[in-house]
Amino acid sequence: MFFSRHGLVAPCYATYNENSSHISNNSIKDIWFSGSINEIRKQHSRCDLSTSCSFCENILNSNSYKSALINKYEHYAFSKSKYPKIMEFELSNKCNLACIMCDTNLSSSIEKGKNQNFTGNLFYKESFFDELREFIPHLQLAEFTGGDPFMIEEYYKIWDIIMELNPKCRILITTNANTMNPRIERLMNMHKNLYFNISIDSLQKENYEKIRINGNFEYAMKNTQKFIDYCKKHKTHLNILVCPLTKNAHELGDLVNFANKNKICVFYHTVVKPKELSLKYLPTEDLNKIVDELSIYKFPSKTKNQRTNKHNFENLIELLKSWSKENELDIKHDNIEEKTLSETEIINLLKLKVNETKPEFFKKFDNFSQEVLQLPNKDIILKKIYNFSDEIFFEYLENKNIDELIEICKTIK
């Protein structure tokens, strides 16, 4: 189960949308056994991934199987328990960094930079933590993201419950490693089953601090070493998570060497937003050049971690190659004149944009587009919407309901 900071609950972070059950109106028990998650089970029984799981479906259709999010859960696929084996918590956006590829949803520092009020945990009340007590004894893994978990007060409460009810449960913390304090040290002394994902996108101080704004490279690396030492002592695992960006493409091979040197694994996020930082939207020539440069690297494969790193790196290259092919075949938005686009083509292009950038709003946009097609000036409206900047387009889609969107459209001349 994935608990999003919007209060929406789904099987994973890529499947929650406006149709997901909301924690404000449902108990954890109701959501798991009879809510929207049960609807997804029915979809899967029909081999239907398009309704809720299009994020993975698109990657599978590109033959980049090893890059699909579903691999993360493969180990837990078979279980006799009726309760979830994994819970993922994204309850708050409290974070000390303002990374260039992040947004206000996941960073309170970005909120502050935009003069917005701190939102943090909006929906998870005391009753939520009481309800967790029924589920925690059945967990094999509890995963915490943010924001940065070490800055989120609610997580310390959950960690204490896990220690009380299920100390063998693995706790996976995804952190930027820019926070260390006595509470964290106490946590590391008390729990013997901590696992870490450390977000590192560069090994060059200047580039690291340009990507992870407010970050301190030396401090992050010092804390990372503490986490590595902990994992060696308790025989747990630490991974580094990398966002492949236009800003760090030249360092991706070096990050594998760093991981191999420290006997840890490196994994890659699939970054499709913001568009200007994603490798996916580079000109084909530039993307092919990056593929050629990365293909030069040769990594050892003697140990399990080395083999994992080698395979992950090769899968990343395959994903980049598939994007390059898409770029060659797809119609480029910037090169299309409005007069050449039919209403269906515009809607399909907008659907593609939503699916790649904000998949959680795909269903909402689909309903919205059907409403627009009923309007007398639909052709003008669709062309205007198509020319909205991504920022305005997604702001409207995220913050307006369908009726409001239709009213806005009616004002377009």
Q: What is the pLDDT of residue 339?
A: 46
Q: What is the pLDDT of residue 362?
A: 76
- From 73-87, 170-184, 260-274, the region with the lowest mean pLDDT: 73-87
Q: What is the pLDDT of residue 412?
A: 58
- From 183-187, 239-243, 331-335, the region with the lowest mean pLDDT: 331-335
The rounded Cα 11 to chain-centroid distance in angstroms is 13
Biggest CA–CA distance in the chain, Å, is 68
The residue type found at 85 is K
Q: What is the pLDDT of residue 154?
A: 97
* Residue 172, phi then psi, degrees to nearest 5: -110, 120
pLDDT at 76 over 80: no
Q: What is the pLDDT of residue 331?
A: 45
Coil vs helix vs strand at 235: coil
pLDDT at 78 over 60: no
Please indicate whether residue 62 or residue 96 has the higher confidence score (pLDDT). 96
pLDDT at 42 over 90: no
Mean pLDDT for 366-392 is 80
User: Angle between the 378-386 and 343-357 helix axes, to the nearest 10 degrees?
Assistant: 40
pLDDT at 68 over 80: no
Check: CB of residue 18 under 8 Å from CB of residue 364.
Answer: yes
The chain-wide mean pLDDT, for the chain, equals 87
User: Angle between the 284-295 and 304-329 helix axes, to the nearest 10 degrees?
Assistant: 160
DSSP class of residue 78 equals -
Please indicate whether residue 102 or residue 384 has the higher confidence score (pLDDT). 102
Check: CB of residue 308 under 8 Å from CB of residue 265.
Answer: yes
Mean pLDDT for 23-29 is 93
Q: What is the pLDDT of residue 347?
A: 81
- From 180-189, 320-329, 398-407, the region with the lowest mean pLDDT: 398-407
Q: What is the pLDDT of residue 63?
A: 66
Please indicate whether residue 381 or residue 152 has the higher confidence score (pLDDT). 152
Question: Who contacts 187 (Cβ-Cβ below 8 Å, separation ≥6)?
Answer: 156, 159, 194
Please indicate whether residue 99 or residue 364 has the higher confidence score (pLDDT). 99
Please indicate whether residue 225 or residue 72 has the higher confidence score (pLDDT). 225
Q: What is the pLDDT of residue 65?
A: 61
Tell me the C-alpha distance between 309 and 393, whole Å: 38
pLDDT tens, 268-289?
A: 998 988 889 999 999 999 999 9
The share of the chain scoring above pLDDT 90, in percent, equals 56
Residue located via tokens 């920022």? 391
- From 48-57, 159-168, 183-192, 325-334, the region with the lowest mean pLDDT: 325-334
* Residue 215, phi then psi, degrees to nearest 5: -80, 155
Mean pLDDT for 343-370 is 78
pLDDT at 265 over 60: yes
Mean pLDDT for 72-88 is 75
Mean pLDDT for 153-157 is 97
